[in-house]
Amino acid sequence: MTDTHFVLDDTTLLALGNGNSRASALIVRGHRKVNIHLMVPTLCLLEADRQREGVCVHIGALEMLDTVDLDFPATLAVSALVRKGVRLGIAHARVAAAPAPDLPEGAKVATIAPELYADTETAVLDLNAQP
Protein backbone atom coordinates (compact mmCIF):
# COMPACT_ATOMS: atom_id res chain seq x y z
CA MET A 1 0.00 0.00 0.00
CA THR A 2 1.51 3.32 -1.13
CA ASP A 3 1.44 6.30 1.19
CA THR A 4 -0.19 9.48 -0.13
CA HIS A 5 0.66 12.88 1.31
CA PHE A 6 -1.51 15.98 1.06
CA VAL A 7 -0.74 19.52 2.13
CA LEU A 8 -3.86 21.50 3.08
CA ASP A 9 -3.52 25.17 2.16
CA ASP A 10 -5.37 28.08 3.77
CA THR A 11 -8.16 27.96 1.16
CA THR A 12 -8.89 24.37 2.15
CA LEU A 13 -8.80 25.14 5.86
CA LEU A 14 -11.38 27.88 5.29
CA ALA A 15 -13.45 25.57 3.07
CA LEU A 16 -13.74 23.06 5.91
CA GLY A 17 -15.77 25.63 7.83
CA ASN A 18 -17.87 26.48 4.78
CA GLY A 19 -19.20 22.96 4.25
CA ASN A 20 -16.99 21.90 1.32
CA SER A 21 -17.83 18.20 1.15
CA ARG A 22 -14.65 17.22 -0.72
CA ALA A 23 -12.45 18.91 1.90
CA SER A 24 -14.39 17.18 4.67
CA ALA A 25 -14.16 13.82 2.87
CA LEU A 26 -10.38 14.19 2.65
CA ILE A 27 -10.19 14.75 6.40
CA VAL A 28 -12.35 11.65 7.02
CA ARG A 29 -10.17 9.55 4.69
CA GLY A 30 -7.06 10.82 6.46
CA HIS A 31 -8.56 9.74 9.77
CA ARG A 32 -9.66 6.29 8.59
CA LYS A 33 -6.74 5.26 6.37
CA VAL A 34 -3.23 4.74 7.66
CA ASN A 35 -1.63 5.45 4.27
CA ILE A 36 -3.09 8.96 3.85
CA HIS A 37 -1.11 11.69 5.55
CA LEU A 38 -2.50 15.21 5.92
CA MET A 39 -0.19 18.13 6.61
CA VAL A 40 -1.00 21.73 7.48
CA PRO A 41 1.73 24.34 7.04
CA THR A 42 1.73 26.71 10.01
CA LEU A 43 1.63 29.81 7.80
CA CYS A 44 -1.49 28.44 6.06
CA LEU A 45 -3.05 27.91 9.47
CA LEU A 46 -2.21 31.45 10.55
CA GLU A 47 -3.51 32.91 7.27
CA ALA A 48 -6.81 31.00 7.62
CA ASP A 49 -7.17 32.07 11.27
CA ARG A 50 -6.47 35.67 10.28
CA GLN A 51 -9.41 35.46 7.87
CA ARG A 52 -11.68 33.54 10.25
CA GLU A 53 -10.88 33.58 13.94
CA GLY A 54 -11.09 30.12 15.51
CA VAL A 55 -9.72 28.12 12.59
CA CYS A 56 -6.51 27.38 14.55
CA VAL A 57 -8.45 25.92 17.46
CA HIS A 58 -10.67 23.84 15.17
CA ILE A 59 -7.79 22.47 13.10
CA GLY A 60 -5.72 21.85 16.23
CA ALA A 61 -8.44 19.55 17.54
CA LEU A 62 -8.18 17.30 14.46
CA GLU A 63 -5.49 14.85 15.49
CA MET A 64 -5.10 13.36 12.00
CA LEU A 65 -3.55 16.62 10.80
CA ASP A 66 0.17 17.20 11.25
CA THR A 67 1.48 20.74 11.28
CA VAL A 68 4.48 21.63 9.15
CA ASP A 69 6.75 24.11 10.91
CA LEU A 70 9.34 26.34 9.29
CA ASP A 71 12.99 25.47 9.71
CA PHE A 72 15.64 27.86 8.40
CA PRO A 73 15.93 26.40 4.87
CA ALA A 74 12.13 26.41 4.50
CA THR A 75 12.02 29.99 5.76
CA LEU A 76 14.48 31.02 3.06
CA ALA A 77 12.44 29.19 0.38
CA VAL A 78 9.18 30.79 1.55
CA SER A 79 10.84 34.19 1.68
CA ALA A 80 12.07 33.84 -1.91
CA LEU A 81 8.55 32.99 -3.11
CA VAL A 82 6.98 35.86 -1.15
CA ARG A 83 9.45 38.29 -2.75
CA LYS A 84 8.12 37.06 -6.12
CA GLY A 85 4.57 37.99 -5.09
CA VAL A 86 3.31 34.64 -3.78
CA ARG A 87 1.00 34.91 -0.76
CA LEU A 88 2.63 33.80 2.51
CA GLY A 89 0.40 30.76 3.15
CA ILE A 90 0.54 29.59 -0.46
CA ALA A 91 4.34 29.94 -0.41
CA HIS A 92 4.55 27.72 2.67
CA ALA A 93 2.18 25.18 1.07
CA ARG A 94 4.40 25.03 -2.04
CA VAL A 95 7.55 24.57 0.05
CA ALA A 96 5.90 21.91 2.24
CA ALA A 97 4.74 19.98 -0.84
CA ALA A 98 8.11 20.05 -2.60
CA PRO A 99 10.17 16.86 -2.83
CA ALA A 100 12.49 16.39 0.14
CA PRO A 101 14.82 13.65 1.40
CA ASP A 102 12.08 12.23 3.66
CA LEU A 103 9.42 12.63 0.93
CA PRO A 104 11.16 12.18 -2.46
CA GLU A 105 7.92 12.26 -4.46
CA GLY A 106 6.69 15.37 -2.68
CA ALA A 107 3.04 15.88 -1.76
CA LYS A 108 -0.07 17.18 -3.46
CA VAL A 109 -1.58 20.44 -2.29
CA ALA A 110 -5.29 20.01 -1.55
CA THR A 111 -6.88 23.32 -2.48
CA ILE A 112 -10.05 25.02 -3.61
CA ALA A 113 -7.94 27.59 -5.47
CA PRO A 114 -5.87 25.54 -7.93
CA GLU A 115 -5.25 28.65 -10.04
CA LEU A 116 -2.79 29.81 -7.34
CA TYR A 117 -0.53 26.91 -8.36
CA ALA A 118 -1.09 27.14 -12.15
CA ASP A 119 2.40 28.13 -13.25
CA THR A 120 4.28 25.98 -10.75
CA GLU A 121 5.47 22.39 -10.58
CA THR A 122 3.34 21.83 -7.49
CA ALA A 123 0.99 18.84 -7.78
CA VAL A 124 -2.58 19.82 -6.88
CA LEU A 125 -5.73 18.05 -5.76
CA ASP A 126 -8.58 20.33 -6.88
CA LEU A 127 -11.27 20.07 -4.21
CA ASN A 128 -13.74 21.79 -6.54
CA ALA A 129 -13.60 19.08 -9.21
CA GLN A 130 -16.38 16.53 -9.36
CA PRO A 131 -15.28 12.90 -8.93
Tens of pLDDT, residue by residue over 70-97, are 999 999 999 999 999 999 999 999 999 9
Q: For the chain, what is the mean pLDDT?
A: 93
45-65 average pLDDT score: 93
Cα separation, 36 vs 83, whole angstroms: 33
2 band by pLDDT with thresholds 50, 70 and 90:
confident
Domain range list for the chain: 4-126
- Fold of the 4-126 domain: Rossmann fold (3.40.50)
DSSP states of 56-116 as a string? HHHHHT-TTEEEE---HHHHHHHHHHHHTT--HHHHHHHHHHS-BTTBTT--EEEES-GGG
